[in-house]
Amino acid sequence: MTSATPPSSRSSSPQKVCHSQTQTDVLKPLLGGGVSGGGGTLRRRRRVLSKDGRSNVRIEHISGRSALYMRDLWTTFLDMQWRYKFFLFTATFAGTWFLFGVLWYLVALVHGDLLEFDPPSNHTPCVMQMQTLTGAFLFSLESQTTIGYGFRCITEECPAAIILLIVQLVITMVMEIFITGTFLAKVARPKKRGETVKFSQHAVVSTHEGRPCLMIRVANMRKSLLIGCQVSGKLLQTSLTKEGETVRLDQRNVPFQVDTSSDSPFLILPLTFYHIIDDSSPLRAWATKGGGWTDPELADFELLVIMSATVEPTSATCQVRTSYLPDEILWGYEFPPVVSLSPSGKYVADFAFFDKVAKTKATPVFKPSGPEHSYQGNGGGSVLEGADPEKIRLEQSYRERGEERGRVRDSSPLSVRISNV
């Protein structure tokens, strides 16, 4: 059992990444620049999505970007980093205290309550014990935070002061509700819950049910369950349209399934998700050459894996993402078992083996089927060249259904090996 990783390519002069979807220069690589490797030309790839699921795309030259962000203040505040949020929180409260303190000072100035006016002994001020700018600031702070020390209070002398007090309390209350709501919403976001979902560091390709399959491992590292898990994949690669246009970062669907089903797997134990590499798979050209990640034309892609689920305690939707480059997809390897049974009768998931991979006894081989190729069926029989492809597909479908029924009835140790545990 080994943890194998193909050698990584290095680049000393990477080219600038083009951010547009379409590019007329087909010589530029999808995700990085060209560099000379030992056996040929390899490319150092820059990820579109990092291993921890963060976007590596920078957005530039957007007219009115600040105005767009200000129109959606709620999302802007939620996406803001914590250090900026704390600074804005402090600056907002200190700013409103000082702003309304100045307004209270102006009210006292107009009414003649300040010390420099030397008011008579029978003078009734708008606010008791507020005769300086510092006193006005402290009164604003005490009013907004409802402290009320007792000796600094408003009187019935000034209607303008009563109106100013009402305006201050209404405005600052709305601001407190908004800021407190963004704090709670940011803390309650399921983003941190997604960090407890683990993907395997490498994807592997081995034979499963007689067919080459790309496999990844996913595990939930908390006891609280994830409901309605859905795993899907997107293959980003350069494609050429019939009109001769080169589309960069073209997205192709890569479906994943668990055993024989892709609907809502029960993620209570680490599971292995399979993508069957067949004639409809977007990885067929890469698989035809046995996972030729050293081929600069075939290995110019990135596989994004996305898992969506509902967090059981909060009912919030959670999405976890990762990506695999061609040199992180190991051809002819498989995942060793990680689940065992303890003497006390409990199932144990040993994460020390989660990222381990082992070399398979037989190297998987992908052979495209079609009229021009002889097709090797699951039963070992071959179909001669020139056979009807529709008839081949129907026969294969009936054969697979029969094998699935047999596997359900089969209780031999082989069924344990096929399962995810």
The average pLDDT across 376-384 equals 40
Tokens linked to 290:
């046995």
> Does position 416 have pLDDT exceeding 50, yes or no?
no
Helix, strand, coil fractions of the chain, as percent rounded to 5? 30, 25, 45
> Does position 419 have pLDDT exceeding 70, yes or no?
no
Q: Three-state SS for 175?
A: helix
Of residues 405 and 290, more confidently modeled: 290
- Total length of the chain: 421
Tens digit of each residue's pLDDT (9 = 90 or more) over 274-330? 999 998 999 888 888 776 655 666 678 899 999 999 888 888 888 999 999 988 999
Residue 174's pLDDT is 93
Nearest-CA neighbor of 139 among 184, 104, 87?
Answer: 104
> Does position 87 have pLDDT exceeding 70, yes or no?
yes
The average pLDDT across 23-37 equals 44
Tally the C-alpha atoms within 13 A of residue 123's C-alpha that lie toward its C-beta.
17
Residue 382: pLDDT band (50, 70, 90) is very low
- Gap between the Cα atoms of 255 and 202, Å rounded: 18
pTM for the model stands at 0.65
Residue 392: pLDDT band (50, 70, 90) is low
- Gap between the Cα atoms of 331 and 230, Å rounded: 25
- Gap between the Cα atoms of 373 and 130, Å rounded: 94
φ and ψ at residue 86, rounded to 5 degrees: -65, -40
> Which ranges in 38-150 belong to alpha helices (H)?
65-71, 73-79, 82-111, 133-144
Of residues 34 and 119, more confidently modeled: 119
Q: How many beta carbons lie within 10 A of that of residue 266, not counting itself?
A: 11
- Gap between the Cα atoms of 283 and 266, Å rounded: 27
Residue 118: pLDDT band (50, 70, 90) is confident
Tokens linked to 299:
């290995």
Tens digit of each residue's pLDDT (9 = 90 or more) over 183-199? 888 888 877 788 889 99
Of residues 406 and 400, more confidently modeled: 400
| DSSP structure class, residue 417 | H
Q: At what angle do helices 159-188 and 82-111 cross, to 10 degrees?
A: 180
